[in-house]
């Protein structure tokens, strides 16, 4: 009991120092009550197909805003969180994005989970000139002065999975991916990394997010006889693949690497026999042996209950997005969009659960640690650490310092 409370206090202290930096104004929130609040808008799926992932991200958003407010808010003003549940519906993303931008007139927006949702709302915030943070590991390449992406991208993660696979499993891969832009672009990166490493890809199949029956897909894979399977399957329905793969006895025959597996609650809801050994690579794992990670996890558990055991990079990236923005506001001394962007482009860093996270001004992506890990009996076994990974994929095409008017998503060129 007593150790628990020490942990919690330690967590709070650490988080506070991370949030507030050197500025210690513990009583500002009391005196600053009269001040007009700064509005932080959040658009995340608390229900629907992505509700599982979104629920924790929503909690993280509340947690981070709480931390900031406890530390006295920003610029002497409290932060008001305006959050909408987009219910995994693109129509509601459009609806609420317009509401946040035009009616609530928020100062910053943090949110979006799937790449589809990001691409639906990005133009709306571009038009209304509302600063937007996208806090999810994703396929990379977004190059837009108004948008900052804090999650890891393929050059920081997928290449490590492919390297591991080429070294330990073999040269012939079969790729299965979700049928939308994330899956397509990630599959392209997988193909590129395989070929760069001297391997080959025997086949690539795409599955819409509502597919649950993978029996024909498993037969196709067996027919092709690959050495390994690379998966970019997304969401709850697709988790059926791993169950059916295990049920067909394929688990022991062909190893699997995945770019999204385990970001939800797969580790707690699936049998260890199904999950063990699926190699993944993310910017954070919830059992990293660092004080900051322990502080974050115990802080979240203190606020939302002890069953918060499935935190993932999606959550720390959300935390990073809010803290990077807060740091930039402090540095700029203003919440004006252009001043905050200038501060962020100046190479801002924060200490996050994953370690040091630095905003790369040219790409608006983060330089961060990434880790390779596989599930082992419901926890993650860390296989390797890659410190200060650079978002080389986006950087290959995007330089917002030189060309601030760029506004598009670059996709990998497979011809090279």
Site for other proteins in 266-285 (CB under 8 A): 269-271, 273-274
- By CB under 8 A, tell whether 239 contacts other proteins: yes
**Burial bucket for residue 219 (CB in 10 Å: 0-12, 13-18, 19+):** exposed
Q: Distances in Å between the alpha carbon of 258 and those of 54, 61, 249, 317, 390? A: 20, 26, 18, 19, 20
Whose Cβ is closer to other proteins: residue 188's or residue 354's? 188
Q: How many residues bind other proteins (CB under 8 A)?
A: 71
Interface segment toward other proteins; rule CB under 8 A; list 7-15, 112-120, 369-377, 385-393: 112-120
Binding string, 387-416, against other proteins, x = CB under 8 A? Answer: ------------------------x-----
Asked if residue 65 lies in contact with residue 100, where contact means CB atoms within 8 angstroms, the answer is no
Beta-strand relationship, 79-85 and 108-111: unpaired
* CB neighbours of residue 80 within 10 Å: 17
Task: Compare residues 287 and 411 and give the one whose CB is closer to other proteins.
Answer: 411
Q: Does position 116 bind other proteins by CB under 8 A?
A: yes
Question: Rule CB under 8 A: is residue 261 a binding residue for other proteins?
Answer: no
Q: Which helix H or strand E contains 268, and what residues bound it?
A: helix 266-269
Distance (Å, whole) CA 182 – CA 162: 17
List 37, 39, 80, 94, residue binding other proteins (CB under 8 A) = 94
When asked if residue 89 is in the footprint of other proteins (CB under 8 A), the reply is yes
- Give min distance, CB of 12 to other proteins, in A: 27
Phi-psi region of 201 (alpha: psi -120 to 50; beta: other; left: phi over 0): beta
Nearest approach, Cβ of residue 169 and other proteins (Å): 18
Site for other proteins in 117-156 (CB under 8 A): 119-120, 122-124
> Which x/- pattern, by CB under 8 A, does the window 13-52 give for other proteins?
---------------------------------xxxx-xx
What CA–CA distance (Å, rounded) separates 43 from 102?
A: 14
Site for other proteins in 177-196 (CB under 8 A): 179-181, 183-184
Based on CB atoms, which residue is closest to other proteins, 9 or 103?
103
- Dist. CA 299–CA 306, nearest whole Å: 10
Q: Is the dihedral of CA 284, 54, 39, 153 positive or negative?
A: positive
Does 287 participate in binding other proteins (rule CB under 8 A)? Answer: no
Cβ-based nearer residue to other proteins, 179 or 351: 179
Task: Check binding of 249 to other proteins (CB under 8 A).
Answer: yes
Tokens encoding 337: 């969009």
């Amino acid at each position: 009991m007593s150790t628990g409370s020490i942990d919690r206090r330690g967590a709070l202290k650490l988080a506070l120092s991370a949030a507030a930096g050197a500025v210690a104004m513990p009583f500002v929130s009391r005196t600053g009550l009269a001040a007009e609040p700064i509005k932080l808008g959040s658009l995340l799926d608390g229900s629907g197909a992505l509700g599982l992932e979104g629920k924790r991200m929503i909690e993280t958003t509340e947690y981070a805003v709480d931390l900031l407010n406890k530390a006295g808010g920003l610029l002497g003003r409290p932060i008001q969180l305006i959050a909408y549940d987009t219910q995994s519906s693109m129509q509601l993303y459009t609806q609420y994005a317009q509401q946040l931008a035009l009616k609530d007139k928020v100062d910053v927006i943090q949110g979006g989970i799937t790449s589809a949702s990001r691409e639906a709302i990005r133009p709306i915030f571009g038009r209304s000139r509302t600063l937007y943070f996208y806090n999810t590991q994703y396929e990379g390449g977004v190059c837009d002065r108004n948008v900052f992406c804090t999650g890891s991208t393929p050059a920081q993660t997928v290449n490590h999975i492919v390297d591991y696979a080429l070294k330990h499993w073999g040269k012939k891969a079969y790729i299965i991916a979700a049928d939308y832009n994330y899956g397509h672009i990630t599959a392209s990166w997988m193909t590129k990394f395989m070929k760069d490493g001297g391997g080959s890809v025997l086949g690539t199949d795409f599955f819409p997010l509502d597919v649950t029956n993978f029996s024909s897909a498993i037969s196709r894979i067996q027919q092709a006889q690959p050495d390994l399977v690379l998966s970019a399957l997304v969401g709850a329905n697709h988790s059926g693949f791993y169950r059916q793969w295990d049920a067909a006895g394929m688990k022991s025959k062909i190893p699997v690497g995945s770019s999204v597996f385990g970001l939800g609650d797969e580790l707690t809801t699936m049998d260890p026999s199904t999950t063990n050994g699926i190699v993944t690579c993310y910017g954070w794992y919830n059992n990293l042996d660092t004080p900051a990670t322990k502080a974050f996890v115990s802080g979240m558990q203190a606020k939302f209950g002890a069953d918060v055991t499935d935190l993932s990079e999606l959550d720390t990236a959300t935390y990073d997005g809010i803290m990077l923005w807060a740091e930039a506001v402090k540095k700029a001394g203003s919440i004006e969009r252009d001043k905050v962007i200038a501060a962020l482009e100046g190479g801002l860093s924060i200490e996050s659960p994953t370690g040091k996270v630095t905003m790369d001004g040219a790409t608006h992506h983060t330089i961060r640690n990434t880790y390779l890990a596989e599930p082992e009996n419901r926890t993650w076994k860390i296989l390797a650490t890659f410190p200060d990974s650079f978002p080389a994929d986006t950087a290959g095409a995007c330089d917002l310092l030189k060309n601030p008017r760029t506004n598009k998503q670059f996709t990998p060129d497979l011809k090279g």
